[in-house]
């Protein structure tokens, strides 16, 4: 079922809350994950999967969920946010993250949880559900991304959607690379990120991050862009980890997930929310996922892009979570 949304009114998130429990979980390989729990101690467990990969969690992400209904679980994936060691790429793959989620679920005593993720978080949500569908009570995703070659091409390569729509932003990004590296920019930026020259590394980190941040919303002012890039440690982890994952197509087979998930998730509520003008993760992937999971609900939100900080997208996600709480409580 497809639901095309075009409402003009904005829906506020729930009020800010503080976690009542936090900790660090040793997941092996030298990695420790930061985790937190807020909301209702006895509520519906929901785990939030942040994007990037490498972005880390933020306090505002707790506010998608009714704190009287949900037991809200956030954690920073390997190498980012408050997890340690910072920006570490070793032992950092999707298989590791899926295993980490299971360790965290057991640690927190959760039998089943609703899995909520956007952008890269949707990729991880699908990879987790592919293996542990019996632990998923519902799946809610936005900005769908499967890390396939075509999707990465649209974002990072000459001739892709971004190079055509945001040529002014794309040009300095691609020209940072030597001519012989421009045909494979993800690999080229890996070299720049590990350059022995500090100014080269810093400029590469800035341009890589600036490209994604600039295209994440319909309108981004320079002040908003600078604010989004104001934390150098977050920029470092985001860029290094994202580049590492994208060199390996997210360590997932997106086409295989599309082939297998329909049968595995047939009895699980699946909600897909997608911005019509998402340039980071264009709508075509969300539509493919919806077709692959015929029982899923697809909501295309007009007049928004990729960012979950856009009010109309937030409103739709909150509406989905409110309705889902009623469904899950009803049994």
**10/311 Cα distance (integer angstroms):** 6
Q: Which of 278, 290, 299, 307 is catalytic?
A: 278
Q: Which of 196, 220, 248 is the last residue of a domain?
A: 248
Tokens of 186: 């993800």
The reply to whether 306 belongs to the active site is: yes
Each residue's pLDDT tens digit in the chain (331 positions)? 544 443 334 457 999 999 999 999 999 999 999 999 999 999 999 999 999 999 999 999 999 999 999 999 999 999 999 999 999 999 999 999 999 999 999 999 999 999 999 999 999 999 999 999 999 999 999 999 999 999 999 999 999 999 999 999 999 999 999 999 999 999 999 999 999 999 999 999 999 999 999 999 888 878 887 777 778 888 888 999 999 999 999 999 999 999 999 999 999 999 999 999 999 999 999 999 999 999 999 999 999 999 998 999 999 999 999 999 999 988 7
Residues 208 and 254 in one domain: no
Q: Counting every residue, how long is the chain?
A: 331
Dihedral, CA of residue 68, residue 71, residue 76 and residue 78, to nearest 10: -170
User: Using CA atoms, how far apart are residues 16 and 252, in angstroms rounded to an integer?
Assistant: 34
Is the same domain home to 141 and 29? yes
Q: Are residues 265 and 120 part of one domain?
A: yes
* Number of domains observed in the structure of the chain: 2
Residues 270, 316: one domain? yes
- Do 223 and 281 lie in one domain? The reply is no
Active site residue 307: no
Which residues on adjacent β-strands are paired with residue 49?
Answer: 117
Mark whether 119 is an active-site residue. yes
Q: Are residues 197 and 139 in the same domain?
A: no
Domain containing 185 equals: 149-248
Instruction: Establish whether the linkage from the previous residue to 85 is cis, with ω within 30° of 0.
Output: yes
Residue of 83, 119, 239, 307 marked catalytic: 119
First to last CA, the chain: 22
Which residue, of 191, 218, 248, is where some domain finishes?
248
CATH of residue 16's domain is 3.40.50.1820
Q: Could you tell me if 162 and 66 lie in one domain?
A: no
Whether residues 169 and 35 fall in one domain: no
**DSSP of 209-275:** HHHHHHTSSS---HHHHHHHT--HHHHHHHHHHHHHHHHTGGGS-HHHHHHHHHHHTTTS-EEEEEE
Nearest in space to 50 (alpha carbons), one of 116, 129, 127, 145 = 116
Nearest to 317 by CA among 100, 26, 61: 61
Q: Of the residues 248, 270, 305, which one is the last residue of a structural domain? A: 248
């Amino acid at each position: 079922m497809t639901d095309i949304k075009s409402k003009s009114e904005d829906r506020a998130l729930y009020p800010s809350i503080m976690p009542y429990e936090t900790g660090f979980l040793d997941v092996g390989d030298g990695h420790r994950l930061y985790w937190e729990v807020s909301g209702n101690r006895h509520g519906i467990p929901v785990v939030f999967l942040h994007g990037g990969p490498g972005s880390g969690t933020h306090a505002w992400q707790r506010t998608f969920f009714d704190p009287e209904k949900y037991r809200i679980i956030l954690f920073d994936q390997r190498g980012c946010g408050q997890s340690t060691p910072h920006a570490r790429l070793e032992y950092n793959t999707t298989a590791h993250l899926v295993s980490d989620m299971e360790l965290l679920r057991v640690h927190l005593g959760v039998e089943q949880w609703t899995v909520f993720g956007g952008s890269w978080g949707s990729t991880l949500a699908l990879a987790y559900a592919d293996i542990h569908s019996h632990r998923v009570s519902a799946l809610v995703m936005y900005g769908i991304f499967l890390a396939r070659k075509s999707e990465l091409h649209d974002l990072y390569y000459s001739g892709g959607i971004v190079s055509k729509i945001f040529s002014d932003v794309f040009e300095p990004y691609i020209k940072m690379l030597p001519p012989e590296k421009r045909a494979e920019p993800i690999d080229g930026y890996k070299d720049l990120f590990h350059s022995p020259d500090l100014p080269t590394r810093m400029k590469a980190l800035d341009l890589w991050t600036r490209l994604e941040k600039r295209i994440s919303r319909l309108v981004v002012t320079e002040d908003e862009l600078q604010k989004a890039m104001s934390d150098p440690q977050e920029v470092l982890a985001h860029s290094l980890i994202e580049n590492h994952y994208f060199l390996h197509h997210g360590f997932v087979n997106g086409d295989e997930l599309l082939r297998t998930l329909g049968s595995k998730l047939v009895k699980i509520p699946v909600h897909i929310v997608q911005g019509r003008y998402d340039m980071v993760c264009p709508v075509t992937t969300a539509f493919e996922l919806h077709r692959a999971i015929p029982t899923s609900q697809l909501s295309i939100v007009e007049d928004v892009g990729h960012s979950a900080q856009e009010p109309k997208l937030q409103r739709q996600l909150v509406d989905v979570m409110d309705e889902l709480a009623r469904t899950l409580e009803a049994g």
